[in-house]
A = this chain, B = another copy of it.
Amino acid sequence: MGIAVGKSIKEAEKFCKENDLKFTPVRRKVLEILLQKNKALGAYEILDLLREAGFKNQPPVAYRALDFLVKNGFAHKIEQLNSFVGCMHPGKDHSPAFMICRNCDFVSEEEAINPNFSVSKIASKAGFKVEKAVIEARGLCHSCASMA
């Protein structure tokens, strides 16, 4: 295991301890897998790796662990790929922007937390050549927000 992976796992462990979350073996293992591979993995790829590591391998095993990791900010879902990546900035409340290379499959996670950051600024900062950008915000439309 790389040093960075070990460090991230330790941070997750610490965060869970502080927030009464259970960092169970399967959750830890899934996070390790994501961090070690350092690229987007589908739930069923993760499932295969879990089986190899001696865990159960029904779909809910992977999806539950992924739900936990995503919900608590240790991993993210890449919507375009129906797949998941380990978080590169764990512990902090953040708003990620992903740069996904179509050639080498590498995924880099950039910070978009500054509300004035644009996709093109983020990309140029990362040296990434954007061919297609997916920008989707979920929330409340003007009309629904004004009713609440």
Segment from A7-15, A16-24, A46-54, A99-107 that makes contact with B: A99-107
A126 to chain B, nearest CB (A): 7
B129 and A139 form a contact (CB under 8 A): yes
How large, as a class, is the contact surface on chain A? 35 or more
Complex partner residue of A103 from B95, B127, B144, CB under 8 angstroms? B144
Residues of B within 8 A of A95 (CB): 133
A134 at the interface (CB under 8 A from B): yes
Q: Which of A31-77 contact B (CB under 8 A)?
A: none
Any chain B CB within 8 A of the CB of A142? yes
Say which residue of B80, B128, B140 sits within 8 Å of A128 (CB atoms).
Answer: B140
- The answer to whether A99 touches B144 (Cβ under 8 A) is no
